[in-house]
Amino acid sequence: MDRDAESFQSVADPTRLRLLNLLLQAGEICVCEMVDALDVPQYNISRHLHVLASAGWLEDRRLGKWIYYRISEKLKPHQRSMLRAIEQLRGERPDFQEDERRAGRRLKLRRGGLCCVGLVSRIGAALSPKNKPEAAKA
């Protein structure tokens, strides 16, 4: 397939638009943070990230068990223009605003600027009163 056509086709999906918006706002973010921010299952996030990365939109880095994604520094001019268009949609799309709100809460859980907790669904179980250390209960 033509790489330019692939680039355009890759953003013709609401979830991928949401991911690009989130990456524009957050910079570098790990997969589990994206799952919690978009409230979409991990397998769907991973599939959409693969499409975007294959089309040249994203770069990733692995750090332990986490994979962090960011917007590629090697974008073509038409891709940069599309990112500007996505940014212009922020005020018009409630889903972007909700994603950013959830991401803001989720990113506050980072330690040393890095994701350290996995999926929020696991956080709640880890922080339930029966799982807290005795010193923390007092």
Is the pTM of the predicted complex or chain greater than 0.95?
A: no
Q: Tokens 């010193």 map to which residue?
A: 135
DSSP letter (8 states) at residue 72: -
The b-or-e profile of 64-76 (16+ CB within 10 A means b, else e) is eeeebbebbeebe
For the segment 90-110, the average pLDDT, to the nearest whole number, is 93
Distances (CA, A) of 137 to 97, 120, 123, 126, 133: 35, 21, 17, 13, 7
- Residue 58 pairs in a beta bridge with 71
Looking at CATH, the fold of the domain delimited by 3-137 is given as Arc Repressor Mutant, subunit A (1.10.10)
Q: How sure is the predictor about 115, in pLDDT bands with cuts at 50, 70 and 90?
A: confident
Q: What is the distance between the alpha carbons of residues 131 and 47, in angstroms, rounded to a whole number?
A: 33
Q: What is the distance between the alpha carbons of residues 33 and 117, in angstroms, rounded to a whole number?
A: 9
Residue-wise pLDDT for 14-71, tens only, equals 999 999 999 999 999 999 999 999 999 999 999 999 999 999 999 999 988 889 999 9
Q: Write down the domain spans for the chain.
A: 3-137
